[in-house]
Amino acid sequence: MSWRLSQVVDLEKCPLSSDGFRTACRRALSEDGALVMRDFMTTAALDSIRKDAVENQHSAYYTASKHNLYIAPSDPDFPPDHPRNREVLSSKGCITTDQIPADSALHCLYDAEEFRQFICAVLDEPELYEYADALSSINIHYAGEGQELGWHFDNSSFAITLMIQEAEEGGTFEYVKDVRDADSGEMNYDMAEKVLDGGIPADTLSAKAGTLVLFRGRNSMHRVTPVAGHRTRLLVVLAYNTESGISLSESARMTFYGRLG
């Protein structure tokens, strides 16, 4: 099937070209640190993407690794139990852009100029570009029973996700807004430690199947709680760059995908 954007996105509920809608979305992202667009996708597109994800799950690369909040090497200037170095566990499977069928509704959405202009308007970015490598622009993440994403900060300023299938239980996205200010170098380790220890209650983000989420995770700590039950949590990540010709680093590709291309 050759998809059109109007067959992928419910443009009545989410009028991407509307100035008023863009303004409301920009305000929500600024105030909440997250923009949640429920019923973003049409039923036909959602069903098709879910079917493709299930059929291609055998190709997923699975990882289970320990990391600190910053997904960076430990800092010897701090003890191992310091929030700079404390480790958490993340585990998931992933298929990459080149493993997603060429006729998928995901490619239609990702490449659509109207969608990209909407994201630019909400983020106040002049332009967004696809990744130069063949793996990183569109990923589908798989989380089965017991799998989770530990507390962390993102290196990028924003993330775009589409929920395709929820877990039966667990798999909840939790976040604490504005824990640090990475640009100014203010790490706020005291607050980070309280979040790790459960001393600060986290906000939860409920994303039913068909929901698009735009999240600023560079300064907000976030995690996905362990999945429970037999239904795999399926999540699409749509990744753009603010500069053209950029590839995900070779070390990151090997870590997340197990290959360079």
Q: What percent of the chain has pLDDT over 70?
A: 100
- How far is 80 from 86, CA to CA, in rounded Å? 6
Run of H or E residues at 90: strand 88-95
- The residues, ordered by sequence, that sit 6+ positions from 25 with a Cβ below 8 Å of its Cβ are 35, 37, 118, 122, 214
**Cβ distance 233 to 105 under 8 Å?**
no
Q: What is the pLDDT of residues 131-156, one digit of tens each?
A: 999 999 999 999 999 999 999 999 88
Q: For the ranges 12-16, 58-62, 152-156, 248-252, which has the lowest average pLDDT?
A: 248-252
Q: What is the pLDDT of residues 39-96, one digit of tens each?
A: 999 999 999 999 999 999 999 999 999 999 998 889 999 999 999 999 999 999 999 9
Confidence class for position 24, pLDDT limits 50, 70, 90 = very high
As a whole number, mean pLDDT of residues 176-199 equals 97
**Cβ distance 228 to 170 under 8 Å?**
yes
**Cβ distance 223 to 148 under 8 Å?**
yes
Phi, psi dihedral angles at 50 (to 5 degrees): -60, -45
Predicted confidence (pLDDT) at residue 209 exceeds the cutoff of 90: yes
DSSP letter at 100 equals: S
Q: Which residue has the tokens 């949640």?
A: 36
Q: What is the pLDDT of residue 206?
A: 87
> What pTM was estimated for this model as a whole?
0.95
Confidence class for position 122, pLDDT limits 50, 70, 90 = very high
DSSP string, 128-193: -B--SSSSSSEEEEEE-TT--EEEE--SSS-EEEEEEE--SEE--EEEETT--BTTTTB--HHHHH
Predicted confidence (pLDDT) at residue 255 exceeds the cutoff of 90: no
Beta bridge partners of 149: 224
Q: What is the pLDDT of residue 97?
A: 98
Q: Which two tokens stand for residue 161?
A: 């996700």
Predicted confidence (pLDDT) at residue 249 exceeds the cutoff of 90: no
Q: What is the pLDDT of residue 1?
A: 78
Q: Which residue has the tokens 């509704």?
A: 105
**Mean residue pLDDT across the chain:** 96
- What domains can you pick out in the chain, each with its CATH number? 5-257 (2.60.120.620)
- How far is 43 from 209, CA to CA, in rounded Å? 10
- How far is 245 from 224, CA to CA, in rounded Å? 31
Q: What is the pLDDT of residue 135?
A: 97
Q: Is 126 helix (H, G, I), strand (E, B) or coil?
A: coil
